[in-house]
Structure 1
């Protein structure tokens, strides 16, 4: 294995242009290996609060934070715990903001007033939606792992949501608890509750601990209670076990407790293999699991956000957009999902948009807000949505703000498309932020001759939308690349459901999400989007090693692999065999002679064309640095 790892390291060094035989590089790598695992920097727990009996500044060392009027305690959580001080972690959830804004919109448009406690309970339509894994934007269950679990678990009541929240965690996954629970839930495996010898305890002692989860520990307190009941751990030993669970990877302290628990369970009449399996399940919670109360609190937010998405999709999408950044998905995917649920989404417009997204047409339509325009500051455009009463409201806008609005195609209501609006704004001297419509009069230059610019092609509109808004209501970039995809024998995402399990397939799309969870043993999960739907891709470690640069950096990928269809849930993945970076396709959408019909207008030329124009990589062109917004990556 060491030789193989050395070969892989040498290969990677050569790929990035380094010499593996360089003695300085070898020494650097050696030192890097020695410091691997050391703390990299000091960090602050943004939600950790300490309570002490005496004055805090006389009890613990306090330092000044970088932010004004902020301080921090210079000890870590282990120091605080050793001294017996109370530490409270306060959790901030963006979904609470989203739910509050949703309730406000419902009250404003429908006259109904809800709270977390009054949302209708146990609605079958909500559970039907979740069973379809229709959960984009829903709290906690919008990740690919949770979406894959929903059709397998098929929640039909609130406690099922508690299970759903808790089961897709590193603890249950590492402890090999997920598949046994699902098999037992489906009736494919009997529930098993071994009993101690009659002299040492009642026959149902494990059922009392694990009955609600079908004999499988899914919550942290179940793991602790299992040790207390089956191995008769004392409170002191349980506390020692709790600490060991939290630090066993770092300190290796949990090993000595394993023999104690297994031997005690065997003494009480349990089988040795079962006792060892129980301890391995407990050890899995060292990788992070949920207490039942925590899972129940989160499940309540899962249900409420699901109810909002199910019954008020326009409200929910509006609140989500106004609560960004949060969650797994960017505004482009939130907007797409809203449209798929029948919401009419209206573009950003200087005559109608406010800073936040708002509802229109009796609450059935969603108007995107000015906040979606990249680089625009609220204070620069506050006069727009304060009056919106005609051309006069441009008088206080800086030229830079006008340029951003024009580039984002926000002047349609005034009869100006993107290109014409940019032309008008560019006519203003950048050195003087004078009013748009008074410029000629102030400079006494007369009226400029009207210039009719050629219409911008739709493909270029879409690229500009993504560059300025990170989304487009006009079309999807893959629509213009479909001919290329057909030539490459690429299957569109909507037809994947018709392909049999195990068949070879090629798919292509824009990368939305990259995930590499620590519990997945090096496996990477991708979500690709085309103009029809999304596709889930699984990349095993050996394929990742062969295509690492593409997997981690490409904005558009072509994947060749096999279809994998879950028999019970019907969830479809594509298991990648070969991965190709097709980001260049995106950059060419605005280039002369590809999808463009006719040459670019002179007004759009960034520099004078010459013989070397296309000899340089188009990815270095200022306008093409980021044709598509980055994916949301989770590691």
Structure 2
């Protein structure tokens, strides 16, 4: 009966979820309902899945509109018809063109023209698949129109977009948000009629009593429509079936690749390796994932052919087949990785690999995938939905209601008393809560790519975001449910650092003996690297540089690959939250403590001292301790990752876990404790192979940091840094003996460069310098360096404002003149710069050279200029401190003051704000001392309330020196900002702004 229903995926128009629409159908005892979202098929697959559960026959279609104007509503007769509609929709979404006035002749889809639209088109001929849609408001006109005799072509067209007055009000607000206009200015024609509701079928029958044929035609139309997809356990593998033409050829090729990989990866192929490989291959073939491995292999082969660095991670790193195909660099034999975490006979969801590339290489790899596998429109990026968040919804609604920015900011921040708000503000908050988590617009999944055996439009239309790759209109959960396994091609700065560091080393130290980064095993046994990890000297290195990780490395005294693998997972919130991170440290440091482990858990997880650290540990505990089947344990694993915690199947497994353990005689308090630990893993735990992949990349970056620290820091700066700001990678380079130079017109590039041990900061670090200016400087010095100021301004078209930036940072210092002389000259000669930058100069202009007095520029002025233009000083941060830093205790002296109160001076690196279990705010602050060493502090709630760390700068810190597992922390009792000297650039007199000298770290 209802042929034109809109879900809230009719973005900024509909208000109901696809499930709510189905519930309405059930309430009205409808056996069939059609979903026709506006220019969208986002909800289509889930609508079909949920309709089956609710015993309602689903019909899919599209409401084609040019902006708000409806062109026609189309319904798919079958899956082929859905493909036709998606092809048509995608074509216009990609090209950003209007839909034609009349629909094409679909072979397997019906087209319905609204009554008024048909009249407007003066359409008199209707093909077999075309109909006229009659609404309640059309009945009177129909009696007197030419269409009154078109008995077989008339069907009901009753749009459904909401279910209440509140929904209608929300619809109007969405329309105003979409049009970026005030609600009071929202045009009538830009919104739906208030009666786009689902009426009781009897009411419809009464209204159309004179036209029973319309109802009969509508029912007949719906009977001809049938759409079907398989979901969950019934689903089929929808990924590309074969890579080399047939399943037999694929498997033969996979065997050959594995044999080749065995010889390359292992010096000795033991029976254990052979058994593991055969077991994996048997299961891969049985589960129909041969092509899945081969597709990933082809992607990797292309990347290797282009010399791209990559990391294969995720649970896929638990597979020896993945290791032999070089999809990952983690040896599952060496780490005894649990293949069943990645793939087992009972696993119902498809596995996936996460493959990281540097940000720059990732785009080309993605383009390759579309070229290689997308010849028949079988490849698309995975979509995602950006939903309304409370704060954003408040802002949008505030604009719609015409509130001034100050009031919107106040409402958005939540800093108000509800009782003080007027009716408009309360209305905004009410509808912001209503919009919360409803879809706002379509976006792209972080890295998911679908490679389907069928054309991708069999499942969904695609749109074309700015990246210019077709993107489906549904998310990863729907893809997995229907049998489409995503390929994760992700971008990561850490790999860019590694790739660039290797290139910089070869250029700066051409004679250096650089080991093959792609073979990390020698790094695992390198005593220098392992000693560096144990000291937590890992600034700039992937995943091991954060304050929390530095703390853990020291507490564990990590000095080998296996322990670093564990640390990569222990640091995750799940293990930390459960209290097992501390327990792991205790058992790691004290073998006697390990005897406290539960015997069953000890046998399952000897390598982690009987403590659950990895996702597969939970599967093992569920299977061996709670006697769940691997199928049930996999449900637990999926629930753990946060995907299906609300589903009934997860609740069933949770109940069975408890009942099985109690039935086996386990004490209830022990069962409760183990389940508590499992629950803490939700959404946080890593698979061991994933942790191992992270550890491999950590070792690759640690090798470069250990042996080529300056080049590695340059690469880090050029790839956007890491956990810290650029300033602290500059500091790290200085601590390793580098001389840091500000940008220079004769030496610098856009990116930071290194010449032997001298690092020239790139022009990109200079705040306010335009890209055009950078390119002009570099391009015009290709044949010769700049020899004088006049030479520079005649060769480089640059505005006075841009010149001032360059002069103040010292970029023209190689020309032999001081800043003040150059600034004076720049202002005086401003009128000599050609107005037209493209105009060629055929003759050198003779510029008068003036004799200026000698100016004295202090280092303090330079320091303040650096802070203003770079964001940080190139001097020791304590250089500008008003009082002497020598009276303070240094980091290296703290071991002498354990459990004593001390005073230290620190330069703020980073601050983490967090909350206690009781919801009280506390801080963890990281600082540098006068010598450049790191200080770690904690501000407990009582101190944090009165003494917040609120801005970058120097701090006076009074604290108690504490130590735990050899890691020193300062428990702060008092903290306050320390003043800088007076900025000499604005001083009115040459007063004494400095009362001490610095001899260290400047």
Q: TM-score, with normalisation over the residues of structure 2?
A: 0.51
| Cα separation, 1, equivalents of 2:462 and 2:944 | 45
Structure 1 residues 83-102: aligned runs within 5 Å = 83-102=482-501
1:274 is the counterpart of 2:670: yes
Preserved contact between residue 232 and residue 264 of structure 1 (Cα < 8 Å): yes
Preserved contact between residue 743 and residue 760 of structure 2 (Cα < 8 Å): yes
| Cα separation, 1, equivalents of 2:435 and 2:563 | 41
Task: Report the equivalent of 2:420.
Answer: 22
Preserved contact between residue 540 and residue 729 of structure 2 (Cα < 8 Å): yes
Task: Report the equivalent of 2:940.
Answer: 540
Aligned mate of 1:162, from 546, 558, 565: 565
Q: Secondary structure at the match of 2:714?
A: helix
| Cα separation, 1, equivalents of 2:467 and 2:494 | 28
Which of the two has higher C-alpha Rg? 2
Task: Report the equivalent of 1:74.
Answer: 473
1:244 is the counterpart of 2:639: yes
C-alpha deviation, 1:146, in angstroms: 0.4
1:132 is the counterpart of 2:132: no
Preserved contact between residue 539 and residue 545 of structure 2 (Cα < 8 Å): yes
Task: Report the equivalent of 2:908.
Answer: 511
Aligned mate of 1:151, from 554, 562, 565: 554
Task: Report the equivalent of 1:608.
Answer: none
C-alpha deviation, 1:152, in angstroms: 0.9
Task: Report the equivalent of 1:426.
Answer: 827
Q: 1:305 and 1:58, CA in 2 relative to 1: closer, same or farther beyond 3 A?
A: same
1:389 is the counterpart of 2:792: no
Task: Report the equivalent of 1:366.
Answer: 759
Task: Report the equivalent of 1:319.
Answer: 715
Q: 1:469 and 1:215, CA in 2 relative to 1: closer, same or farther beyond 3 A?
A: same
Task: Report the equivalent of 2:853.
Answer: 452
C-alpha deviation, 1:178, in angstroms: 0.6
| Cα separation, 2, equivalents of 1:130 and 1:560 | 28
Q: Secondary structure at the match of 2:639?
A: helix
Q: 1:558 and 1:54, CA in 2 relative to 1: closer, same or farther beyond 3 A?
A: same
Higher RCO (CA-CA < 8 Å; seq separation 6+): 1
Task: Report the equivalent of 2:731.
Answer: 336
C-alpha deviation, 1:113, in angstroms: 4.4
| Cα separation, 2, equivalents of 1:30 and 1:16 | 10
| Cα separation, 2, equivalents of 1:540 and 1:594 | 44
Task: Report the equivalent of 2:624.
Answer: 229
Q: 1:90 and 1:248, CA in 2 relative to 1: closer, same or farther beyond 3 A?
A: closer
What value does the CA root-mean-square deviation take over the aligned residues? 3.7
Q: TM-score, with normalisation over the residues of structure 1?
A: 0.78
Q: Secondary structure at the match of 1:160?
A: helix
Preserved contact between residue 459 and residue 477 of structure 1 (Cα < 8 Å): no
Task: Report the equivalent of 1:568.
Answer: 965
Structure 1 residues 150-229: aligned runs within 5 Å = 150-187=553-590, 189-195=593-599, 206-229=601-624
Task: Report the equivalent of 1:8.
Answer: none
C-alpha deviation, 1:481, in angstroms: 1.6
| Cα separation, 2, equivalents of 1:297 and 1:157 | 15
| Cα separation, 1, equivalents of 2:780 and 2:698 | 37
Aligned mate of 1:403, from 804, 822, 827: 804
Aligned mate of 1:554, from 951, 955, 965: 951
Task: Report the equivalent of 2:265.
Answer: none
C-alpha deviation, 1:591, in angstroms: 4.0
1:461 is the counterpart of 2:862: yes
C-alpha deviation, 1:593, in angstroms: 5.6
| Cα separation, 2, equivalents of 1:39 and 1:575 | 44
Listed one character per residue, the Cα deviations across residues 368-404 of structure 1 (whole Å, up to 9, x for unaligned) are 3333322332423222553442334651342254333
Structure 1 residues 18-57: aligned runs within 5 Å = 22-24=420-422, 27=426, 31=430, 34=433, 38=437, 42=441, 43-57=443-457
Structure 1 residues 475-624: aligned runs within 5 Å = 475-483=875-883, 491=888, 493-494=890-891, 497=894, 500-516=897-913, 522-533=921-932, 534-546=934-946, 551=949, 553-556=950-953, 558=955, 560-569=957-966, 571-580=967-976, 585=980, 588=983, 590-592=985-987
Q: 1:496 and 1:258, CA in 2 relative to 1: closer, same or farther beyond 3 A?
A: farther
Task: Report the equivalent of 1:262.
Answer: 658
Task: Report the equivalent of 1:4.
Answer: none
C-alpha deviation, 1:459, in angstroms: 2.0
Q: 1:433 and 1:245, CA in 2 relative to 1: closer, same or farther beyond 3 A?
A: farther
Kindly tell me the number of residue pairs found equivalent between the two proteins.
561
Segments of 5+ residues of structure 2 without an aligned counterpart are 1-409, 994-1002
Q: 1:408 and 1:265, CA in 2 relative to 1: closer, same or farther beyond 3 A?
A: same
Listed one character per residue, the Cα deviations across residues 65-85 of structure 1 (whole Å, up to 9, x for unaligned) are 2x2624433222222222222
